[in-house]
Structure 1
Amino acid sequence: MRLRGVRRSRNIEDRRRSRGRGGAIGGLGIGGVLVVLAIGYFTGIDVRPLLDGAPQQSSAPRALTPAEERAADFSASVLATTEDVWSRLFPAQVGTEYAPPVLVLFSGRTESPCGGASGATGPFYCPADRKAYLDTQFFATLSERLGAGGDFAAAYVIAHEVAHHVQNELGILARVHEARRQSDQTRANALTVRLELQADCLSGVWAAHVDGLLEPGDIEEALNAARMIGDDHLQRQAGRVPQPHTFTHGTSDQRARWFENGYDTGEIGACDTFAADRL
């Protein structure tokens, strides 16, 4: 993705300087921890027993590494592209103005109105404060451990969380939350799958409108990332037989197909997964 010369968003809240430096967690090195956390997030496996004894957050400030500085610059530039795209598309396709979210960068642990956040939650969006949360070490997990390398794969992660903010702006998150509250677990999971696939599709819409910034292979990187974090693939990676009733994000094929649908059409209206007979 061509980000040279792209402005950096000011809607960044960087909390990484306040993280404690802890080393291993529950006997795992940091690489092992990142794998466990990512698989736990994307498969719904409860990984907390593996993380007992996690170090508490320290208030002592620390210097950011060059890699962390680069991650912040990258995240701020990608976030700026989402602001530009959705600020154009909302008036044109929805008829309202777009109010962008804040992206919180953290390392290890932080707090949100939606609960305590750690690498175990993975990247997530909290509608209560209209902020997306990202532990920038997840970029390394995505590339080195989950087999989804490339800068556009990382950009897709940010775009996906911003897409949840788009859903919030459109009133979709509130409606799905209410429907989930009235459903059993299997039905609630099925609704969540449709919500996540819609976010994948909206990420594709964003990709279709980042004028002049795409490089050869970028879309393939995003599609590969979508496949690598499909529920079925990650459950197999965790040594489990895929259990569709436990899926919360969709299969590899579904995630890639809906991203591609958004990219091919460039239309918000093409992302109505809730009306789709086939996911």
Structure 2
Amino acid sequence: MEWKGRRQSSNVEDQRGAGGPGGFGRGGGFRIPMGGGPRRAGGGLSIGTIIFLVVIYFVLKMMGIDLLQVLGQGGGGQVNLPGFEQTESATRANSPQQEETKQFMATVLAESEDVWNGIFQASGEQYEEPKLVLFSDSIQSACGFASAASGPFYCPGDHKVYLDMGFFDELASKFDAAGDFAQAYVVAHEVGHHVQNLTGVLPQFNNARQRMSEAEANQMSIRVELQADCYAGIWGKYTEQKGLLDVGDIDEALNAAVQIGDDTIQKRMQGYVVPESFNHGTSEQRQRWFKRGFDSGRVQDCDTFSNDV
């Protein structure tokens, strides 16, 4: 993708090195699947955990380390305790490669702002631009606490997209989906969830799924995710019309859509698939709906709720 020298969005919050406690619940963010096992909803601390933390506090206090002072420093900076080295992820966050990736993400976000501002204005509406939060290892959002293992996600509660850029290393090595446009597809997909939030799709889904069985919620979730893929395809269409795509860019996005399909991930992680547990869509579905958005460039062609998926 030809991106250098283009406008970068100011809606980027760099919180790499920050984090916080909490819980990433069922009603929280909409994320790229990572292939891990089920997460415990809620995230509350048990009595045993609280006692353990209190013991750790007093042990560190005896060593001359005041955790309250450390935590009170704030600012999101890196705090190095005596005897501990800076983590590898924190070191990577300051690398030239990571800084270039940050600039690329800011450019992709800016391009998405141009596309969706134009689409909303054409319909007589105003687009509210989302924030992109870059983090390392873990983050506290309005949807609760999330680790890097959660994958990139969109939180309807604060209208922010959250991204640990280390995910792109995993996207290339674990999912065999390298390339800058594969990365751009991930961001465009999460921005697609933001569009759904503004148009009422996500609020309706979050309200309705509380009354659904798990199987029904999974089926509805697939339609939500495939629409976000279609919206990512629309962004790709407008990006192509600007002459910003390199040869092979769309292939990178389509390959990424295939590699993070529910069936492909389950085959890779456990050797077999459980279709009733799918909640993002198969590889074929994800690729097809991205391409549908890319081919038409029209929001009305992304209605996954009135059409067979």
**Distance across 2 between alignment mates of 1:273 and 1:152:** 24
Q: Which residue of 1 aligns with 2:15?
A: 15
Counterpart selection for 2:38 from 33, 39, 46: 46
Equivalenced residue count is 250
- Residues 181-200 of structure 1: matches in 2 within 5 Å? 181-200=210-229
- Larger Cα-atom Rg: 2
Counterpart selection for 2:178 from 146, 149, 161: 149
Q: Which residue of 1 aligns with 2:163?
A: 134
Residue type matched to 2:129 in 1?
P
- 1:123-167 CA-to-partner distances (Å, cap 9, x unmatched) read 000011000000001111111221001100000000001010010
Is the 1:41–1:120 contact (alpha carbons within 8 Å) kept by the matching residues of 2?
A: no
Is the 1:101–1:130 contact (alpha carbons within 8 Å) kept by the matching residues of 2?
A: yes
The 3-state SS of whatever aligns with 1:69 is helix
The 3-state SS of whatever aligns with 1:253 is helix
Unaligned runs of 5+ in 1: 21-39, 49-56
The alpha-carbon distance between structure 1 residues 47 and 170, as it changes in their structure 2 partners (threshold 3 A), is: closer
1:168 pairs with 2:197: yes
Per the TM alignment, residue 179 of structure 1 is displaced from its structure 2 partner at its CA by: 1.6
**Distance across 1 between alignment mates of 2:18 and 2:285:** 38
- Residues 209-248 of structure 1: matches in 2 within 5 Å? 209-210=238-239, 211-248=242-279
Q: Which residue of 2 aligns with 1:78?
A: 108
**Distance across 1 between alignment mates of 2:208 and 2:276:** 17
The 3-state SS of whatever aligns with 1:116 is strand
Is the 1:19–1:60 contact (alpha carbons within 8 Å) kept by the matching residues of 2?
A: no
Residue type matched to 2:293 in 1?
G
Q: Which TM-score applies when normalising by structure 1?
A: 0.85
Is the 1:228–1:252 contact (alpha carbons within 8 Å) kept by the matching residues of 2?
A: yes
Is the 2:19–2:140 contact (alpha carbons within 8 Å) kept by the matching residues of 1?
A: no
The 3-state SS of whatever aligns with 1:103 is strand
Residue type matched to 2:16 in 1?
R
- 1:86-109 CA-to-partner distances (Å, cap 9, x unmatched) read 1111122x3311111000000001
The alpha-carbon distance between structure 1 residues 67 and 75, as it changes in their structure 2 partners (threshold 3 A), is: same
Residue type matched to 2:287 in 1?
A
Residue type matched to 1:162 in 2?
V
- Residues 88-107 of structure 1: matches in 2 within 5 Å? 88-92=118-122, 94-107=123-136
Per the TM alignment, residue 5 of structure 1 is displaced from its structure 2 partner at its CA by: 1.5
Q: Which residue of 2 aligns with 1:261?
A: 292
Per the TM alignment, residue 17 of structure 1 is displaced from its structure 2 partner at its CA by: 3.9
**Distance across 1 between alignment mates of 2:214 and 2:207:** 13
Is the 2:140–2:146 contact (alpha carbons within 8 Å) kept by the matching residues of 1?
A: yes
Question: What root-mean-square deviation, in Å, do the aligned CA atoms of Structure 1 and Structure 2 show?
Answer: 2.0
Q: Which TM-score applies when normalising by structure 2?
A: 0.77
Is the 2:16–2:135 contact (alpha carbons within 8 Å) kept by the matching residues of 1?
A: yes
Residue type matched to 1:3 in 2?
W
The 3-state SS of whatever aligns with 2:305 is helix
**Distance across 2 between alignment mates of 1:166 and 1:70:** 27
Residue type matched to 2:201 in 1?
I
Unaligned runs of 5+ in 2: 21-31, 41-69, 79-89
The alpha-carbon distance between structure 1 residues 182 and 43, as it changes in their structure 2 partners (threshold 3 A), is: farther
- Residues 53-68 of structure 1: matches in 2 within 5 Å? 60-61=77-78, 64-68=94-98
Q: Which residue of 2 aligns with 1:270?
A: 301
- 1:195-248 CA-to-partner distances (Å, cap 9, x unmatched) read 000000000001101121111111111000000000000000012421111011
Per the TM alignment, residue 169 of structure 1 is displaced from its structure 2 partner at its CA by: 0.9
Is the 1:153–1:222 contact (alpha carbons within 8 Å) kept by the matching residues of 2?
A: yes
Residue type matched to 1:91 in 2?
Q
Is the 1:44–1:248 contact (alpha carbons within 8 Å) kept by the matching residues of 2?
A: no
Q: Which residue of 2 aligns with 1:35?
A: none
The 3-state SS of whatever aligns with 2:145 is strand
Is the 2:120–2:127 contact (alpha carbons within 8 Å) kept by the matching residues of 1?
A: yes
